[in-house]
Amino acid sequence: MNRIKTDICIIGGGSGGLSVAAGAVQMGAKVVLLEGHKMGGDCLNYGCVPSKALIASAKQAYAMSHGSALGIADEQAQVDFAAAKDHVADVIATIAPVDSVERFEGLGVQVIQEFGAFISETEVQAGDTIIEARRFIVATGSGPFVPPIDGLADVTYYTNENIFDLREKPKHLIVIGGGPIGMEMAQAHSRLGCEVTVIEGAKAFGNDDPEMAAIVLNKMRDEGITIVEEAQAQKISGAGDEITVHTPKGDYTGSHLLIAVGRKVNMDKLDLDKANVAHDRRGLKVGADLRSETNKKVYAAGDVAGGLQFTHVAGYHAGVLIRSLLFALPSKMKTAHIPWATYTDPELSQVGLTEAQAREKHGDALEVVRFEYHHNDRAIAERKTTGLIKVMVVKGRPVGASIAGHLAGELISMWAMAIANNMKMSAIANTVLPYPTISEINKRAAGAYFSPRLFESTMVKRVVRFVQRWIP
């Protein structure tokens, strides 16, 4: 048995673990990284990267058959489903070297390609190696949650971990789950020529503002996607090339089944109890400093920290941990400034409080400003006028923003910056943006906050009349 002593031992080679490893080793710390599966984790191999690549193929197919509004004849796209999957694989392969074992070993990280498990409060074993570290970071991420639906084990089903390996185009894809993963994959497959039915036990896009979600759902239904809400899957049966999902609202039959009902954190292999690390089904029990409540040598990053499950959150956690572990600076995570986006068409994005959350927290102090896409000149030029932005404002500062529309995932960045830096609405209103751009929607939303104060104020009008009368 080999033994290693190190400053930091990181368990998991996904976004959070790799970000800590790269930062820490380049700043002089001794780092050991354990990864028993694929470097890059879920995001690179099964999540963000392949899904956006497939969405790009679907978007191109849709554009070919919807050009008449721009003076381009509609042509039915000839979809080569296997070639689209080749595109997905090539995108992964292009990005993979950045997350590779070779790159991190080149930086000075000792990479052990084995799963790690605690054997004591101060030791982890990976294969035939025992690692003793001053600090451990658990960054094992999450995987698809497969619910215990009667009959599911008796049929072939897909999750985000293997749907991108499917090279034969489904005739009729049934998606169980109306969250971001399920809805992105539903629209992508529909645009690539599949019939698609989404079955959701509650509300589709249930974590987003209902008004904004409705904009996206209406568009998806207009494209021919069947979306059945408040229909819990009770049983699944299959015969031949058919799979049937039985719900209280009826039975739905298709050729392929995708399970996208949520995520579960990857902790089964860790033996956390041997390290006296408290945890529950959501992940490790940590404080705002991401440190274990019961073993002060152990920290968490990313999905396993029990909070928001996004790749960019894992990267943010890495920054919090680097400040704490390397420089002994007080460093704590916050969530109010964390944005998220769903890459359907139109896109859906959020940062901070939704309107309902802001009303509950701030009551009458809340002002909600709105601006619709169809007033934006660039959106009109590109025929992308379906969309809305809402900004929740308290005492002149944004506390939340919700966007549904073209490039919503890009537009949310300005509001994430504003909330993270406690900026006022005037900072957005004072920003000069190139014309015509979609980003002017943000500035116009800020203008909508100030317009009543300027144009509907009796005092302002009196001042202007006085100035016009007396100033030569």
Binding positions: 52, 116, 140-142, 177-184, 200, 262, 303
**Residue set of the binding site for FAD:** 52, 116, 140-142, 303
What is the spatial distance between Cα 239 and Cα 244, in angstroms, rounded to a whole number? 9
What's the full length of the chain, in residues? 472
What is the spatial distance between Cα 181 and Cα 166, in angstroms, rounded to a whole number? 16
- Give ∠ CA 227-233-236 in degrees, rounded to 5: 115
Q: Which residues of 79-99 are buried (b: 16+ CB within 10 A; e: fewer)?
A: bebeebbebbeebbeebbeeb
For residue 284, give every residue at least 6 positions away whose Cβ sits within 8 Å of its Cβ, in sequence order, or none.
Answer: 138, 267, 272, 277, 278, 292, 298, 300, 304, 305, 306
For residue 72, give every residue at least 6 positions away whose Cβ sits within 8 Å of its Cβ, in sequence order, or none.
Answer: none
For residue 82, give every residue at least 6 positions away whose Cβ sits within 8 Å of its Cβ, in sequence order, or none.
Answer: 167, 168
Side-chain half-sphere CA neighbours of 44 within 13 A: 20
Map tokens 């040598």 to a residue. 297
What is the spatial distance between Cα 86 and Cα 179, in angstroms, rounded to a whole number? 26
- State the alpha helices, DSSP H only, in 229-310: none
- Give ∠ CA 414-419-425 in degrees, rounded to 5: 70
Q: What is the 3-state secondary structure (H, E, C) of 169-230?
A: CCCEEEEECCCHHHHHHHHHHHHCCCEEEEECCCCCCCCCCHHHHHHHHHHHHHCCCEEECC
**Residue set of the binding site for NAD(+):** 177-184, 200, 262
